[in-house]
Every structure is written in structure tokens, then in C-alpha cells.
């Protein structure tokens, strides 16, 4: 099972294996309090895409399109995430964004679940 959760939310046993999928470490969050099992910053959107999305028009469909193109070039990382999901049963993709409906973890989770 693949799920998403804001990294600032309290960790729980139901989270399973927790993977931070942000390029930058979340502001003001101590590593001990984050309870992150793996920080996979390489799977996060590029700095260019991240800046565009957060500082320009928040065009969600365009962000999704651009991020999916980036993910097409990261097949090894996608395979690693799928392997971790099989090994651990439950994987929670953690993100730092305040926006729970428009963030990279949702795009990534959808891809990992085989939905587009």
C-alpha cells in the first residue's frame, strides 16, 4: 500500500516505511522528530520545476505533466520504491508542502499505483 502524508504530521505505526520525497529538508523539523526511514531527494521534482511551481502560476495540470516527464527518466528510483512497498507492505511518501491536494507525493503515489 502506498499512501501520502505531510512530514509535519505526527508519525504513526500505520505509516509503515516512511520516505521523504522532497528535495529540501523540511524547515524547522529536527531529523529525530521526522521519523524518516529514507530520504529520497533524487525522486523529487527538479529545482527548476519546484521553483516554477511555488513561485509562478500554480498550474497543477502543467506541474503534473512536467513532473511525470521527469519521473520517466528515473525508472531505477521508481523500481526501488516499488520494491520497498513490496518489502514493507505499507510505504508512506512524506512531503513538506502545506497543500495536501497539490504536491509531488500525490503524483508519485499515483504513478506507483499504476494510475495516470
Domain residues of the chain, as ranges? 2-112
The order of strands in the sheet holding 17-20 is: 2-6, 91-95, 17-20, 38-39
Task: Kindly give, in sequence order, each residue whose CB lies less than 8 Å from that of residue 107, ignoring residues fewer than 6 positions away.
Answer: 63, 64, 67, 68, 71
pTM: 0.91
Instruction: Render pLDDT for 74-115 as a digit per residue (tens, 0 to 9).
Output: 999 999 999 999 999 999 999 998 889 999 999 999 999 886
Instruction: Render pLDDT for 28-48 as a digit per residue (tens, 0 to 9).
Output: 999 888 999 999 999 999 999
Amino acid at each position: 500500500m502506498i499512501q501520502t502524508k505531510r512530514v509535519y504530521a505526527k508519525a504513526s505505526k500505520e505509516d509503515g516505511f516512511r520516505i521523504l520525497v522532497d528535495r529540501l529538508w523540511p524547515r524547522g523539523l529536527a531529523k529525530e522528530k521526522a521519523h524518516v526511514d529514507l530520504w529520497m531527494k533524487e525522486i523529487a521534482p527538479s529545482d527548476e520545476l519546484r521553483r516554477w511551481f511555488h513561485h509562478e502560476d500554480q498550474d497543477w495540470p502543467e506541474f503534473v505533466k512536467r513532473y511525470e516527464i521527469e519521473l520517466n527518466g528515473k525508472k531505477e528510483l521508481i523500481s526501488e520504491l516499488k520494491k520497498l512497498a513490496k518489502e514493507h507492505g505499507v510505504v508512506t511518501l512524506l512531503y513538506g508542502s502545506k497543500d495536501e491536494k497539490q504536491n509531488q507525493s500525490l503524483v508519485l503515489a499515483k504513478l506507483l499505483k499504476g494510475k495516470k
